[in-house]
Structure 1
Amino acid sequence: MPPRALPISLPEYKSLLQNLWPNVPKRLGLAVSGGVDSMALSHLTRKLLEEKQIHEVHAFIIDHGARPESAQEASSVADILKSYGFHPQVIPLTWGADNIAKVGFETRARTARFRALAKACVTSEVDKILLAHHGDDQAETVMMRLISGSRLDGLGGMRHLSRIPECWNIHNANKVIMGRPFLTVGKDRLQATCETNDVKWFEDKTNHDPTYTRRNTMRHLLTTTPSRLPRALQRESLVSLATRAEDRNRSIKEEAEDLIAKRCQIVLNERTGSLDFKLPRNREELFKDVNPAVLQRMLIIITEKATPGRRVETRHMTNAFEKVLGAENKKHIPMFTSAGLTWTYNGEQSWTLNREPLPPVKKEQEEYVLGPGMSEWMLWDGRWWMRVETPPRHRSIVRILKDSDMKALRSKAGRISPRMRARVDDALKKQLKGHLRFTIPAIFWKVDVPEDVYGEGDEVLAALPSLGLTFQNAKYEIHFKD
């Protein structure tokens, strides 16, 4: 019979938090489901609050609504956390019965949960949130990634510190950091923590059904006693593998960032989205004693500054790796595309990355129609954050600048001040050459009433916001993605 698991002491919990942040934040968020894991996290965090080592705790309780009793459980959890001195908030997710039954519900629920947490953190001005994922969860994750053929990046499993996933188009969500202090701690110790301290928790019976989800199947496989798995595939070994892979991934990233700082020149034009970068002319200077994985990560980091994509996957960069890092003689390298960008070689190890022309479907996706007043923040084409103020009796249309708009733009230039006309000419002739001018956002006004001076249904060019060109006293805020 295995020895009884030990509860987590407060000094140990402090140490786990300091592994995440040497100076433990005074203001924290918690993601709480009401299960034994998150209630152990809540109990230990309450002790820190009682000792005044932290000052404020916001607890976000996601009610998936997948079980009839979930709403009542969420309310009960909120009452418990309020008695702890936390600021609890129940966030219900709405699903139809058909959606819950469909294949893929687990993935959709995960996405909805993370997006709800991100919005709650941004609204509550919480920039650090703790999750109760533990060593058993980590082992399940690594096992599933091994089965799917993941490489080093995936085998790191869940990170101890990371941004909230699935939130690429939620403004300021990238400023929120998730911390997972229990990734090397077994679930049995979290349960022992609750049992020892008389902490109440709620059981989701579906978690014990090995046929309910793929993760449940993996959990059943890993926790069956005695284990039928070889030692290399048992929890301790998988958690150790994840820790080593995470350390290696972190080291590669740090080396790549150091390489960029010391040996690369990067200029990002946030007005046009164009990026120029230059590597050392002497290939030996760049490649000497540098791990190829570090060089690849370097190129990914550079690419992520300009790509319209959510993230740059290594497997999608093969073409760029070969041409930028592999070819010694680049004189005859033609322009190519990768990660949503056109790559142009300028000679002497210098490259220019521009947004590739948007396909028709993408053009439709990047068109927003806004009513009067100030809009919410939107991420246009995965590159510019914008919000637009629309006048009364108007609609604003934010879309890509098209070839058919050029006549209107030139006519505007003829009716404005010489200074503004010079700016328009400079943009068209110098900054927006070729197809690049048809990859930037434009704001149009459309009048909703026939008596307006422009006439019903007419679109009027109001601004080219990324260039700072305004023609109708349009008001907006814009900045390039972080």
Structure 2
Amino acid sequence: MSTIPPVLHRSARAITPHEFLEALQATCAPRFPGARGRTHRPIAVAVSGGVDSMALAYLCTKIRPTDQWFKVADHPVSNPIGIIVDHGLREGSAAEAANVSQALKKIGVKPNITRLRWADVVEPGVNPSDLPNVETLARYLRYRRLGTFCKVWQVATLLTAHHEDDQYETVLMRLLSGHGYRGLQGMRPATDIPECYDLHGVYQSGFVDDQRRENPFYNLRPSEKERKQLKRGLRDEIDPAVIAREVERGLRSDIGTAYLEDYDGIAKGKPAPPLVPLEIEDGGIMVYRPLLRFGKDRLIATCLENGIPWFDDHTNADQTLTLRNAVRHMIKHHKLPEALQKPSILRLAERCRARVASAEAEAGRLLRRVRIHEFGQNAGTLVVTLPRFYFPTVPRRLSASPASRRRRTEHYRHIAALMVRRLLSMVTPERELSQPGQLGHLVSMLFPSLADGTPPPEPKAYVICGVHFVPLIGDYPLRWLLARAPHVSNVPRPSVTFHELPFGRRMDKHPRGWKTQGWTEPRMFDGRYWIRVLHRLPCKLRVAPFEMEHHKPFREALADDQARKELASMLRRYAPGKVRYTLPAIYATLDVTDLLAGGDWWPPHLLLGPPSQRAAAAHSEEQPEPDPEQPDQPDPEPEPLNEPPPPRDETEAIQQIRSRKLSALHAGRLEWERRLQSAAAHATPPQLQLLALPTLGVGLPGLEDWLRWEVRYRKVDDEVLRLSRRGGRRVGRRELRARVRFWYRWMRLGWGRKAARGRVVGVRRGRGGAVKAGGFS
């Protein structure tokens, strides 16, 4: 039987739509596996006009014709949107962007051109092209513009055209820069946008608001058919007689204990009333790189075969402009050693990715042995009990070698450091976590058995990556409290400012008639909390850490002794020690005590009303208190003011402010308010009034009529969050058997009765953390 000889294709093949869909499916994994999205959503494509981005735009137009219900991440795909970023660094960039836009229209992609705002990062009069870090600034601005565009257009997926040759250049540059194996992984196929860390709805946020919409982007609600099936299945499995007996038994035995015990504890003055836990954010825009498995030659073949034009950027040929251009020139014009050629470097990156994935998986297994007692997102604290670390059993010949044991110790220290990083990520305010190599001292303290040849340090408070590790002495096994580190005096405090209600909306109204402008956009505070407010106060609001000097005035301003006791108990329970001074607090930049008490905002001589009333108010403010024994004297009539009629609506009021055609009364109010704000801005130290501790739900009396807030915690590690909600680590089979034996001896063999007569039963931890019954003391 004859065989067909293999045929070698020396020219690159074009990428077929089916190949592209397979690459998309491998790259764009579902973010929320339970999502039931059936609505076609657009995807965004970052287009520079080069051959790689034009090929990607063309392939995206073939998704729906090939598979109408193909999902990218969590939703079926509709037509793509092309985003063209005009950097504005050279002449003719606007014309080039217009040409790329016309080319995208011809292949069926809706184009959108956006221009970078260099004024956000460059001082006036400075040419951005002359800056030494222009490439870094351009990347920062570019991704912020891309993220903002996706948020406005309600697009959750952004595709970029990084390909295999870009990956090769990236790994080679990092190798030349001395990166370790974690840096030699290259570009990740899927990532978020760190440049947009403070933009809500773009960086790891927006999921809570999405679920409140009538038609959410991520539809996690079961369909009517699924609900009927679930209801039918439950009806078939439930025996009404059994349910009735269980309800009767439960009412007789548990109604006085299980449901009222916690309430009685609060009434008796136990720790504190429970807090409503903050919602935890998720979502945001994801960047996917589906072309990392394809070389540039295949992208060129795709454009040539389908008649897709592209535009070359001549700055890419300047080898002195960027490091990437220099590396690209070196690869193209010089023969590199085999170890630095493309196949070898890509295999190196693959091995590094496999090594990192193996280490992360091992750290995840160690994390499941951690007992998480409490994750308090309201105060940003985490209480954990770390497992005892034991070396796995190995042949005696290998364990006897000092070099082998040293290598094993270093490996497990690295695994422990990876696990500690995941705990750090829950409460740290920093954007970048400490590298595993920087956690050596902390690992020796947390895991004494992994000390690197020196006596392990005693458990004590330790600060790293903005997190304060505090041992809770007296607990066995030892518990650790992880909280945000106290603020340092020589570092500016984090703060977020919300603007006051505009003067035009309140200049001719009584404070009771002031109306809000709606909820503000959520702002990131201290790298941990997303905060937004709804207010109608006439001064700016500042979110800053809770300061010690505001504690006493705030406590005394509360309504009654019961409110003061609840505040003290909540601070003692949820934010002990210096943790309370890391809580977010809402301050008013001006004194609004009279407003909260139902009074007026304007001074007496600027109140609304007839001239006689204004003069009476002004006279009562300037003159001393009248003597009750003297007869009342008539008030002198003030001179009338020639004022134009008040504005009919807010638009007319704003126009009057801009044109400076204000009445004497309104001009006086505006001038008085500006003097007040100027005096407050120049005060040293700033005179702030503490209004509320939003994460504890405590505010001044009467504040609910003027200010509302909503606080959410940033996105956290899903596995750590599941462990915290479960109340600790998963119990293994070995430990479960030990617990059953212990409780059997306690209940059946009389240990409980003996302990009740005064004998103490000891409990010790066995190998692997298993609980074993100890002897009598």
Task: Give TM-score scaled by structure 2 length.
Answer: 0.57
Please report how far the alpha carbon of residue 83 of structure 1 lies from its aligned counterpart in structure 2 after TM superposition: 4.2
Task: Tell whether the 8 Å contact from 2:169 to 2:327 is kept in structure 1 after alignment.
Answer: yes
* Aligned residue in 1 for 2:471: 345
The answer to whether structure 1 residue 206 and structure 2 residue 332 are counterparts is no
Helix, strand or coil at the partner of 1:462: strand
- Which protein is bigger by CA-based radius of gyration? 2
Matches within 5 A, 1:189-200: 189-200=298-309
Among 38, 45, 48, the alignment partner of 1:30 is: 45
Task: Tell whether the 8 Å contact from 1:141 to 1:157 is kept in structure 2 after alignment.
Answer: yes
Matches within 5 A, 1:63-462: 63-95=86-118, 98-172=127-201, 173-174=203-204, 175-224=284-333, 227-265=334-372, 267-280=374-387, 282-284=388-390, 291-314=412-435, 315-326=437-448, 332-346=458-472, 348-360=477-489, 362-372=491-501, 373=517, 374-413=519-558, 415-416=559-560, 418=562, 420-447=563-590, 452=601, 456=676, 457=680, 459-462=688-691
Matches within 5 A, 1:50-65: 50-51=65-66, 52=68, 53=70, 54-65=77-88
Query: Which one is further off, 447-456 or 420-429?
Result: 447-456
Please report how far the alpha carbon of residue 446 of structure 1 lies from its aligned counterpart in structure 2 after TM superposition: 3.1
Q: Distance in 1 between matches of 2:374 and 2:358?
A: 25
Please report how far the alpha carbon of residue 300 of structure 1 lies from its aligned counterpart in structure 2 after TM superposition: 0.6
> How big is each residue's C-alpha offset from its partner over 1:11-65, in whole Å with a ceiling of 9 and x where there is no partner?
2212211221367995422111111111010011112233334323232222211
Q: Distance in 2 between matches of 1:29 and 1:267?
A: 40
Helix, strand or coil at the partner of 2:292: coil
Task: Tell whether the 8 Å contact from 1:363 to 1:400 is kept in structure 2 after alignment.
Answer: no
Query: Which one is further off, 227-236 or 80-89?
Result: 80-89
Q: Distance in 2 between matches of 1:72 and 1:360?
A: 52
Q: Distance in 2 between matches of 1:63 and 1:368?
A: 31
Please report how far the alpha carbon of residue 412 of structure 1 lies from its aligned counterpart in structure 2 after TM superposition: 2.2
Q: Distance in 1 between matches of 2:553 and 2:44?
A: 50
Task: Tell whether the 8 Å contact from 1:317 to 1:339 is kept in structure 2 after alignment.
Answer: no
Q: Distance in 2 between matches of 1:266 and 1:442?
A: 26
Tell me the C-alpha RMSD between the 2 structures. Answer: 2.9
Instruction: Answer 1 or 2: which has greater strand percent.
Output: 1
Task: Tell whether the 8 Å contact from 2:497 to 2:540 is kept in structure 1 after alignment.
Answer: no
> How big is each residue's C-alpha offset from its partner over 1:108-144, in whole Å with a ceiling of 9 and x where there is no partner?
1111112222222233222222111011111111111
Inter-CA distance 350–343: structure 2 relative to 1 (3 Å threshold) = same
Task: Tell whether the 8 Å contact from 2:445 to 2:457 is kept in structure 1 after alignment.
Answer: no
Please report how far the alpha carbon of residue 340 of structure 1 lies from its aligned counterpart in structure 2 after TM superposition: 0.6
Inter-CA distance 389–265: structure 2 relative to 1 (3 Å threshold) = same
Percent identity over the alignment is 31
Please report how far the alpha carbon of residue 330 of structure 1 lies from its aligned counterpart in structure 2 after TM superposition: 6.8
Q: Distance in 2 between matches of 1:59 and 1:255?
A: 41
Q: Distance in 2 between matches of 1:155 and 1:421?
A: 56
Q: Given residue 406 of structure 1, which amino acid in structure 2 is its aligned partner?
A: H
Unaligned runs of 5+ in 2: 1-8, 32-36, 71-76, 205-283, 395-407, 502-516, 595-599, 604-672, 681-686, 716-777
* Aligned residue in 1 for 2:250: none
Inter-CA distance 126–145: structure 2 relative to 1 (3 Å threshold) = same
Please report how far the alpha carbon of residue 326 of structure 1 lies from its aligned counterpart in structure 2 after TM superposition: 4.5
Query: Which one is further off, 15-24 or 215-224?
Result: 15-24
Q: What number of residue pairs does the alignment pair up? A: 476
Inter-CA distance 336–32: structure 2 relative to 1 (3 Å threshold) = same
Q: Distance in 1 between matches of 2:330 and 2:197?
A: 34
Please report how far the alpha carbon of residue 421 of structure 1 lies from its aligned counterpart in structure 2 after TM superposition: 3.2
Please report how far the alpha carbon of residue 198 of structure 1 lies from its aligned counterpart in structure 2 after TM superposition: 1.1
Helix, strand or coil at the partner of 2:200: coil
* Aligned residue in 1 for 2:56: 41
Q: Distance in 2 between matches of 1:111 and 1:296?
A: 30
Please report how far the alpha carbon of residue 104 of structure 1 lies from its aligned counterpart in structure 2 after TM superposition: 0.8
Please report how far the alpha carbon of residue 100 of structure 1 lies from its aligned counterpart in structure 2 after TM superposition: 1.9
Task: Tell whether the 8 Å contact from 2:487 to 2:493 is kept in structure 1 after alignment.
Answer: no
Task: Tell whether the 8 Å contact from 2:376 to 2:382 is kept in structure 1 after alignment.
Answer: yes
Q: Distance in 2 between matches of 1:401 and 1:431?
A: 14
> How big is each residue's C-alpha offset from its partner over 1:239-271, in whole Å with a ceiling of 9 and x where there is no partner?
222223223323333332343235442532111
Task: Tell whether the 8 Å contact from 2:101 to 2:113 is kept in structure 1 after alignment.
Answer: yes
Among 12, 18, 28, the alignment partner of 1:5 is: 12
Please report how far the alpha carbon of residue 286 of structure 1 lies from its aligned counterpart in structure 2 after TM superposition: 9.4
Q: Distance in 2 between matches of 1:80 and 1:188?
A: 21
Q: Distance in 2 between matches of 1:164 and 1:266?
A: 32
Inter-CA distance 259–117: structure 2 relative to 1 (3 Å threshold) = farther
Task: Tell whether the 8 Å contact from 1:398 to 1:442 is kept in structure 2 after alignment.
Answer: yes
Q: Given residue 176 of structure 1, which amino acid in structure 2 is its aligned partner?
A: I
Higher relative contact order (CA 8 A, sep 6+): 2
Q: Given residue 484 of structure 2, which amino acid in structure 1 is its aligned partner?
A: R
The answer to whether structure 1 residue 464 and structure 2 residue 693 are counterparts is yes
Please report how far the alpha carbon of residue 292 of structure 1 lies from its aligned counterpart in structure 2 after TM superposition: 4.2
Query: Which one is further off, 201-210 or 165-174?
Result: 165-174
Unaligned runs of 5+ in 1: none
Task: Tell whether the 8 Å contact from 2:494 to 2:525 is kept in structure 1 after alignment.
Answer: no
